[in-house]
Each structure stands twice: as C-alpha cells, then as structure tokens.
Structure 1
Amino acid sequence: MKPIKNTLLFVGIVLLTACHAKPKPPPTQVVYRFDDHRYLELTGYHCEGGLRYIDTERNIQHQIYDVSDGYRIFTKTFIHPSERYIAITSYEGGGFAISKDYGKSWDGASYSPGGGAIKYGASYPIREEIESFTVVNDQGFMLTKKGELYLSSKPFDDPRLEPGGSGIEYTITTGKGKTQKELIRPGEGGGAWGENYLSWNSILGPDSWTIYAYRSNFQNIPNKVPKVKNYKGWDHMRCNPDLGLEKQQ
C-alpha cells in the first residue's frame, strides 16, 4: 500500500501547485500603425480585449479600453494620418473614442440623433453598410458603400456657443408657411468640435434639416473624403486571433 500512498501524495502536490500557479497574462499585439512612432496595442484573446494608444515620439501612452471592456477591432478600411485629432471606432462602427490633444487625453464621440443620411431615418450606418473610416485634417470621415458621408466638424469651436457668447440666431419656416426666429444658446446645439458625427446630407444637402448647419465649424465642409497622400500607416487593423492560445496536439 505504501507505493499507492506515495503516488497519491505526489498527485496532491502537483494539483496544489497548479492551483497556486500564476495565471498566464493575455497576449498583446500591435493591431494598427498610424506611422513609424504611433500605434495601437490590443491585449486579450481572440482579437478582443483592451486597447492602448502609444506615441513613442511624444512619450504618450494611454489605455483607451480596459481588457474587461472587450474592445473588438474595426475590420473595414481605416486610414488615419491625422495627429492632433485621433478617432478610433470599433467592430460595429457605431461610436468613437477620440483625443484632441495628440493622445494625451481621451473622450467619446457619437453620431448625432437625427443626423442620418435620410431625413427621419437611422442616425448612423450599420456595420454592413460601412466602406471606410478616414481621419485626416483633424476630421473624421465615415463613408458608406452607397457613398453617404458622415463626418465630424472642423477642428475649432464656434465662439458664439462658448460661455458668454451671443448664441446663433436663425430663421425657420413653420408648417403653416410662416417664418419665425430661433436661437441656439451657448452650451446648446451639440458638443465641442470633433464630438458629433453627422451626415453631409443633414448639414448641407439640398434638403438639410439639422441645426448643426448653422455652426461655423460645419460650414463649407467637404462632400467627399479628402485624398490622403504619402500615407505611411496601415489601411486596416490587423490581428492574429490565435495569439496566446495553446496549440492542440
């Protein structure tokens, strides 16, 4: 019986050691490069987890999403030469993490309700409709396969909507054909620059309908994605879904 006792003792020690073994950390990989000194790292399994922005030239590192957030990479065309304004979207393309100071601090941006490509339609495109996302000249441009363009404002705030500003006065025509004056007061009319995405149709289309059209940072906006020249970054996010997984024999 002694050999059996020794065997059981050995098995018990192995199991106890396994229980107290340090868990293996999830793998980290570069999933996007903006240029030779700026990139995104994803930590997690199956291309899902935490996302970190790194700029080695400016010595900036920022955790945009924690591993527990379960960020999933954006799989459509993604071109991002812009440096001051950084906009990152995820798998569905339904919202954005943004920085307006080269990646030092981060906030959120969203599609503005009622700002879709079709009046009274959806406010944003679904993943299957998206063709590409380009961030250039400190503006974001989301293009659909139908050619519909959603974009953020020009990179400055309208002083009329700042504290102490005059507000923006505009005129509308009522359903009865009468004209009346309206006022967008300071602090109203949407967030600061770069924080709202709307369709070009809703702002400057022939039947434009959103009050963002009266803001100076949405005046004379392009109706197509600007051309990007000499871009040295990646045009898609890349990820190895098998990284860190044990190979089955």
Structure 2
Amino acid sequence: MKHIKQGYGGGMSKLLLGDFVTLIAGCASVASISTGTGAMPVHERPTYNSPQQVVYRVDEHRYITLENYRDCRVGGIMKWNDDRKNLHAVIEKYPTWGSGIWQGKFKIDPGDERIAIATFGCGDKNCHVWINFSNDGGLTWDAFSSESFSHSYYSPNRNSYTRSDIEATEVRVTKDGYIYVIPKNKKFFYRYRLNGTKDQSPEGTATGDERCWPGEGLKLGIKEHIDWVESCEENRVRKPPFSPMEPGKYDMYDLASIPDVKTPSSQERFTCDPSLNPVVEGEEE
C-alpha cells in the first residue's frame, strides 16, 4: 500500500491524485529483502579493503557496523548485529549517490522484533533520510524514504545550509514499532508504524494515521477525497491546544505528543572513524 507523504498548498492535489489512484488499484505486497541483499538497487562497485567498524551501538548485544566503504563519506555495507542470536544481517548496500550513514540525530529503543534504522542516500534530484526496518528481529530488512533534502549536499562545495538542515533533523524509534521523523524546523513531524508482519509493504507504514486522512474505510471518490484532505489542511489547528484524536491517529503539528526516546547506550548520532580508511587524494566528492 502506497504511503502518501504529507504536502501543502496547490501541490497536494497532484500528489494525492497519483497516490490515491495507486490505492484504489489495490495494495501490492512488497516482500522483505532477504539477508545478504541490499535495500536499494545495487550496481557494480569496487571492493574496498576497509576495516569493519561499529558506527552505532544500541546496547551491549546489538550494534550497527559498516564495511567495504571507500571512506567515511561514501557508504559501504551496513549490517545489523545481534550477538545474542549470532546474527549479522545486511541492512543495506551502497545507497545511491552517497553515504549510508545518517548525518542527523538518531535515537532508538528497539523491541525484540520491530526495529528501524535511519540511513542516508541521494538520487538524481534529492537526498533522503531512508528508514530501513525489520519486523523479525533484524533477520530481513526493507526500506522507504522520508524527509527529503537538497541534492546540493553532495555538490563540490557541500552546501552549508543543507548540511545544517540534515544535522538538525531527528529520527526516533520506539520499542512498539513507531518511527518519528522530526524535520529541522521542529514545527511538525511524520509518524510511521511497523505492523509486525514480515511482508509489510515499506511505503504502507503511515497510510490512515494522519489527522487529515479520511481513512481507508470511507468510500470517497478521487475528487471527494482530495477536497476532504485539502479542507482539513486549510482549517486545521497548527498550534496548541489540539483537539482529541481518534485512536491510532496523530496530528503532525502536536509536537508534545512525540514520545521521548533514549538509546540504551545513550548514543544519539552515527559515528565513523576516518582514520581507519583515509580519503584518497583525487577521490573527493
């Protein structure tokens, strides 16, 4: 089922129309990616003899490693490790156009089965925070994109505004499978949920959650659907106090409703030691 990313203004009709057509055409199941394959399409890349390093530690038993990377700026293979299970599963390989390490803030209090990890990748036009998730304790992984950023982050001069936007964006993951993405301006947030099934469609995690979504049970035509959502957006309250929500829904402007999350290790950002595989002259981005 297609996740509809929230939007504003006149662009919403066009966005919702395309996604709504996808919805009424039926919900296609997307199989989870098996251990040893990547979460995004992979092209042939050189093999780098770079030492594996821990880039994020969740707790005493669980941690994320990076290997086969050119240097800390260009991501390689990221793995989820759980020593209690002797599990070392690939989260993703070689995100397009850049580092797999998420540059913003990241906090997770993972459950035994539902886990989500923030990574970073760019396409032809924009960069995104990617949410890599598992519903089976880290054995298999899939992914969907969330907040987007200007592609200029990977320009030769590394746009400083884009860098600061990324570094100020936060991702929180709760043990019951909720994922919160809080953009730089801290005026609104996105919430996604893991449903606990191994074949969950990666982009179906948020449909029906947000206040300005009429719900899958309502029989609306395309025009009526768009009119309802746009009317809700135009008239909704964007500052406290907020009206009560139906069970299972959230209001993207109610920042006070975001739960505080603390990683057991207290780590809040990914790290990468550049001295283990220094940048080679002539290979700068």
TM range (shorter): 0.5 to 0.7
Which among 12, 16, 33 is matched to residue 57 of structure 2? 33
Identity of aligned residues (%): 21
Corresponding residue for 1:52? 79
Query: Which of 195, 206, 231 is matched with 2:237 structurally?
Result: 206
What is the CA deviation profile of residues 138-167 of structure 1, one whole-angstrom value per residue up to 9, with x for unaligned ones? 211121232133333344389xx9xxxxx5
Assess, with a 3 A threshold, how the Cα gap between structure 1 residues 127 and 148 changes in structure 2: closer, same or farther: farther
> Which structure has the larger Rg?
1
Aligned pairs for 1:1-249 (under 5 A) are 25-43=49-67, 44-47=69-72, 48-66=75-93, 71-83=99-111, 84-90=114-120, 92-111=127-146, 128-130=164-166, 131=168, 132-136=170-174, 137-156=176-195, 168-169=217-218, 205-206=236-237, 217-219=248-250, 223-224=254-255, 225-228=258-261, 231-245=264-278
Q: Residues of 1 paired with 2:217 and 2:147: CA distance?
A: 19
C-alpha distance in 2 between matches for 1:68 and 1:96: 12
CA positional deviation for 1:246: 9.7
Q: How many angstroms apart in 2 are the aligned matches of 1:171 and 1:24?
A: 53
Per the TM alignment, residue 233 of structure 1 is displaced from its structure 2 partner at its CA by 3.9
Residues in 1 aligned to 2:48 and 2:129: alpha-carbon distance in whole angstroms? 33
Residues 31 and 237, structure 1, Cα contact 8 Å, conserved in 2: yes
Where in structure 2 are there 5+ consecutive unaligned residues? Answer: 1-46, 122-126, 149-161, 197-203, 208-215, 227-231, 239-244
Query: How many residues of Structure 1 are paired with residues of Structure 2 in the alignment?
Result: 177
Segment drifting more, 29-38 vs 40-49:
40-49
Q: What's the TM-score once normalised by structure 2's chain length?
A: 0.49
The one-letter code of the counterpart of 1:60 is L
Residues 205, 141 of structure 1: alpha-carbon distance in 2 compared, 3 angstrom cutoff: farther
Distance 1:34 1:222 in 2: 29
Contact 1:45/1:242 (<8 A) preserved: no
Specify the code of the residue in structure 1 equivalent to 2:254: N
| Residue-by-residue CA offset, 1:181-213 (whole Å, 9 max, x unaligned) | 89xxxxxxxxxxxxxxxxxx97x9538xxxxxx
User: Is 95-104 or 61-70 further displaced after alignment?
Assistant: 61-70
The one-letter amino acid of 1:87's match is: I
| SS at 1:72 equivalent | coil
Distance 2:136 2:276 in 1: 32
Retained in 2: the 8 A contact 1:141–1:149? no
Relative to 1, partners in 2 of residues 1:219 and 1:246: Cα closer, same or farther, differing over 3 Å? closer
Change (3 A) 1:127 1:171: farther
